[in-house]
Structure 1
């Protein structure tokens, strides 16, 4: 035991630092298995999808929206997200021509695209989903022509089927980029 009175303030701080470091748990281990893919699961209507976790920047409750006249019906308006104007797209209306009903589970997925960020309204977010290469390789192709250009394949995760939805393909689609009437 060190006599604290005999130490200078600097020596005392150095002693406390050494004692803390000797008993620290260390940094948490980063556990990532090779071949695992992570995504965010969400629902549009009756269909479940998952997009790569790197494609979705943020999940938000739907903020107040300001209407933008002269736009497609699927462009709901713009939202002020921390000082940035973000167009809000009703993804169900864009894909299926069916308005997404507002509920306590409705969320806005913020997705970065060329030239800024866009918010995509979805019915519900399921949270993170993880799958391995074997699961991804056994998927079936998408048969709905409205989705085939955005959904690479459908995979089974547990008891639910998810379409692997590409946000980057959506952001590059000419009809998605043309919101004006």
Structure 2
């Protein structure tokens, strides 16, 4: 038995002596990917990780009694998806115009919707080091932005979908009913 243990120890020592060390590989930085979207006359960035798809604006069926930024519902991939007006939501228009351009389909935490935009550019790939925590003063909804990046001579705000979805304006899309004298009595 001791001979077998000695042979095993000898084999282990020979293996350690002949083994090559594992090379140390520097971590590869993951680039940020997204699209540049024009909302409320301002270019902003949307992360690709927040988008399910970018589609042409679908035909929309209006839902009566909803806030102006709710354009209605559309058929997409065999189901219905709410369509929100990017121009209304980001504060440029009081009422949505006709659906034109593109729709960014967002799927997050059980909330699935499309956000319309007239113009988009992309895809973009940027280094993570290019981003800053500061939010440009030209951002129409600064509370929905997580930072900014300089691109093409402009400082572009980065829209954080989680911040947008946590806004209480999106949780209640029903228009408030006007108070009538009958309801007061």
Quickly name the TM-score band, shorter chain normalised. 0.7 to 0.9
Contact 2:38/2:117, CA 8 A, preserved across alignment: yes
91, 116, 123: which one aligns with 1:96? 91
Return the TM-score normalized by structure 2. 0.71
- How far off its partner does 1:62 sit? 0.9
Aligned pair 1:36/2:31, yes or no? Answer: yes
- How far off its partner does 1:115 sit? 2.8
Contact 1:110/1:119, CA 8 A, preserved across alignment: yes
147, 164, 174: which one aligns with 2:168? 174
Aligned pair 1:75/2:70, yes or no? Answer: yes
Gaps of 5+ in 1: 1-32
Greater shift, 168-177 or 79-88, is seen at 168-177
Greater shift, 152-161 or 68-77, is seen at 152-161
Gaps of 5+ in 2: 1-27, 176-185
Contact 1:45/1:123, CA 8 A, preserved across alignment: no
- Number of residue pairs matched by the alignment: 148
Counterpart position of 2:153: 159
Bigger-Rg structure (1/2): 2
Return the TM-score normalized by structure 1. 0.72
Counterpart position of 1:86: 81
